[in-house]
Amino acid sequence: MQVRGATRHLDILATVVGMAVRITADQRDALYDRILDRLSGIEDIWLAASTERYETADRLGRECCDELRLVLDDLGWGTGPEVETIELTTPPDVLRRVFVRLRDTIANERIHREADRAEIRADQDRIRLVGEACQAVLATLEEGEAPR
């Protein structure tokens, strides 16, 4: 029974490994920019280790390794390859970790940006109301002021 399950697992793995995963050049550029932004915080690994927060250092180090591997194996540095689509050859487990993290990060950013947009709309409404009040009050004062 264990052999059968193990064989099934290997069949699924072989299917995933054999599957071509492709992204567009625009998606590559967006991913590359996002990964570069994350890599700019690489000193966080050193900070965590130097303050003996080894679990954090380990997690951040593994995340950086995964993202660097994607850049090195597939995305390339700078403008990257001049093709319409890019086949990702990075191992599926690494791709899964990177893309799950990115998906979660983007979901959180969307939530925060929507809150920011709501705050901006509220500020714009207050600005509009203050402007309307100024206009109404000044217009009323000007009407009420007669030459003396």
The phi, psi pair for 40, rounded to 5°, reads -65, -15
At residue 147, the pLDDT reads 56
Q: Tokens for 95?
A: 């791709």
Of residues 89, 86, 77, the one with CA closest to residue 35: 77
> What are residue 85's DSSP bridge partners?
24
At residue 148, the pLDDT reads 53
Mean pLDDT (10-residue bins), the chain, 148 residues: 40 50 94 93 93 95 95 91 90 95 92 85 90 90 72
The phi, psi pair for 130, rounded to 5°, reads -65, -45
At residue 8, the pLDDT reads 40
pTM beyond 0.85, yes or no: no
Judging by beta carbons within 10 Å of its beta carbon (0-12, 13-18, 19+), is residue 72 exposed, middle or buried?
exposed
Q: Tokens for 20?
A: 């071509």
Contacts by residues 47-50 (CB-CB < 8 Å, ≥ 24 positions apart): none
Helix/strand/coil for 77: coil
Domains of the chain, residue spans: 21-144
